[in-house]
Amino acid sequence: MSEFLERIDVVDIDTLHRDYDVDKVIDYVHEGIEAPTGSYPLDLYRKYEAQRWNISDLSFEEDKKDWTDKMTPLQRDTFLRVATGFHHGERQVAVDIMPLIIAAPKDEHKVYMTSQMEDEARHTIFFDRFYREVVGFEATDLMDTLDQSYQYMTETFIGAFGYLAYISDQLRQRPHDKRLLVSAITNYHMWIEGVLALSVMKITLGFCKRNQILPGFHKGFLATTRDESRHVVFGMHLLQELLADDPSLKTAVYDTVVTMLIMGSTYTQPVDYTPLGVERDSVRDILITNLRKKLGMVGLPIPPELERMMQGVQPENAAGG
Amino acid sequence: MSQLNLMSEEWAAAFAAEANSGPDASRRQNVEENYWQWIEARKPNLNIVLGLAIKSDTDADLYSYFRIQEGVIVETWCDKGERRGEAQVVLGGTAEDWEELLRGPRNLSQNIMYRRLRLFQGNLHFFFRNIYYFAELLRQGMRVPAVVQTGAGNSAAEAAAGS
């Protein structure tokens, strides 16, 4: 990894916002993966300590002006259709991660995952502030903001995120079931965070950087992207570890990816990405590339049938968490 | 139509008729055609018994069952859980959950995410590989006006008398 990318580890979020763009942070996610060592959960926990940031440090004053003065109604609508999947996604993962922590095999895994839970809660607050202070929602509480932003969601969101809600329910009841744990990590860390989320980040953050607008959103969401990179690295390492201990669990990864692809092969309302300067097919390419890289990270080949299914994934399913 | 008791024989029959009649015109129009095609493509493999349940902390659970052949409901019945073992999929919630599912304010998709409707029995992959079929079946069936009953008392007349 280049020195420039390595510095992402240590820069504050003002420097991250000023000197880096989303493509660099995504490269950092993929190039930062190394063979897991026994200390990776605590190494990542220490990174969390160094990289943690506060929502209260962000200002959305400029964003509020940009939202009304520099963005067209079409751009605002598309931006919300893309970003809202992340707003709801963050809430879902913040709520559903607890059973995964209980089911994680070692205390080191559990300790790291508490930092991930705090990240997800903080990201939920980040979006809550954005919708209130920039988009202009008048909300009584977190759920009220979510209820108001729901109008921008694609209904097929219940696929990947419903699966997370239901598998975390099962994992809560059977925390020693390794197949359930592998499936939950594949759904959460590989698909939601490693495939869907990175796509939303690329679309929205790329738009902000190219047009030099929404600085508060760019700063907070790029910092979110760096947080997510720790999550993805942890998830892929834990999967590698679990599959090495019991290779028969590989089928749980494939089964889950197939389920995600079947659910992700349709949508209820189309999204026109062009107001944000992105072509629909390029979003699909991003999703496919992200999945290919994640499967590669855990050392799983892509059989022809899976390859065929990957080509059918629909961009509207991009969301985050 | 008067309100029927949820999980009563009358309600289950009315649910089946609505579910088999498909989406209403506005729903059909407001959702992309590829979504309906996705659902149609799954129907040939949907040969199951679906159970819906009102769950309680006591032994007063109530069940309705729907025998589904190639995506179409062909038989319904109700009990207090004695034939639950015949169902490949059992979905349910508490009486409070069903109140929310029937009357909102949140819609069915949100309520699935928020676990107002839980999978009590069945294979997770099977359920989610057919998730939009199940979501639309429920959306259509829940067009039937219903009140949530708990414990004994299964007739439409009782529901009407109480409303």
**Mean pLDDT across A102-123:** 97
Per-residue pLDDT of A165-184, as tens digits, reads 999 999 999 999 999 999 99
Residue A2 C-alpha, separation from nearest chain B C-alpha, in angstroms: 41
Burial degree of A121 (CB within 10 A; 0-12, 13-18, 19+): middle
Percent of the residues in chain A that have a pLDDT greater than 90, as a whole number: 79
Q: Give A-chain residues touching B28 at CB under 8 angstroms.
A: none
Subunit contact A155:B109, Cβ cutoff 8 A? yes
The pLDDT value recorded for residue A10 is 85
Q: How many CB pairs below 8 A link A and B?
A: 78
Q: Report angle CA A296, A301, A305 to the nearest 5 degrees.
A: 125
Provide the phi-psi class of A307: left if phi over 0, else alpha when psi is between -120 and 50, else beta: alpha
* Domain locations in chain B as residue ranges: 4-146
Nearest CB partner across the interface for A263, out of B106, B112, B128: B128
* Domains of chain A in sequence order: 3-319 (1.10.620.20)
B62: tokens are 């109530």
A84: tokens are 């809202």
Q: Report angle CA B42, B46, B48 to the nearest 5 degrees.
A: 160
Query: Is the CB of residue A112 less than 8 Å from the CB of residue A96?
Result: no
pLDDT for residue A27 is more than 90: no
Picking from A24-33, A66-75, A94-103, A254-263, which range would have the lowest pLDDT averaged per residue?
A24-33
Q: Is the peptide bond preceding residue B44 cis, with omega within 30 degrees of 0?
A: no
pLDDT for residue A157 is more than 50: yes
A115: tokens are 């930092």
Q: What is the rounded CA–CA span in Å between residue B100 and residue A175? A: 29
Per-residue pLDDT of A240-262, as tens digits, reads 999 999 999 999 999 999 999 99
For chain B of 163 residues, list the mean pLDDT of each consecutive stretch of 10: 92 98 95 96 97 90 97 98 97 96 93 94 98 97 92 43 36
Q: How far is CA A233 from CA A197, A214, B37, in A?
A: 14, 28, 37
Q: Which residue of B has its CA nearest to A253?
A: B125
Q: Which residue of A has its CA nearest to B117?
A: A166
pLDDT for residue A31 is more than 70: yes
This prediction's pTM: 0.93
Residue B118 C-alpha, separation from nearest chain A C-alpha, in angstroms: 7
Give residue ranges of A with CB < 8 Å to any B CB.
Answer: 88, 92, 147, 150, 153, 155-159, 161-163, 165-167, 169-170, 183, 255-256, 258-259, 262-263, 265-270, 314
The pLDDT value recorded for residue A25 is 85
B126 touching chain A per CB within 8 A: no
The pLDDT value recorded for residue A4 is 75
> Is residue A35 very low, low, confident or very high in pLDDT (cuts 50, 70, 90)?
low
Q: Give B-chain residues touching A177 at CB under 8 angstroms.
A: none
Interface probe for A, chosen from B27, B40, B46, B113 (most Cβ of A below 10 Å), is B113
B132 touching chain A per CB within 8 A: yes
The pLDDT value recorded for residue A26 is 84
For the ranges A5-19, A268-282, B128-142, the maximum mean pLDDT occurs at B128-142
Q: What is the rounded CA–CA span in Å between residue A95 and residue A39? A: 27
CATH architecture assignment, domain B4-146:
2-Layer Sandwich (3.30)
Interface probe for B, chosen from A174, A181, A265, A268 (most Cβ of B below 10 Å), is A268
Nearest CB partner across the interface for A259, out of B32, B112, B125: B125
* ipTM of this complex: 0.93
Closest CA to A238 of A299, A187, A185, A193: A185
